[in-house]
Amino acid sequence: MELQEQVDNASNYAIYALAFIAGYNVDKFLKKIEALSKEIFGIDTSRASQEEG
């Protein structure tokens, strides 16, 4: 295996790991954005992020 091939493989794994972490945190991120928009603009949160009960 050449050095450039090893670097490419490592880069691919890093991108996959970053994408997984970003996807894992999307729900929390959207809840924070919706809470901020509710405070600033008075927009209600979506039904998807409202807690059941």
> CA nearest 27: which of 3, 51, 2, 53?
51
Domain ranges of the chain: 3-41
CA distance 30 to 23: 11
pLDDT of residue 20: 86
CA distance 8 to 16: 12
**pLDDT tens, 19-52?**
888 888 787 888 888 888 888 888 776 666 566 6
pTM of the model: 0.43
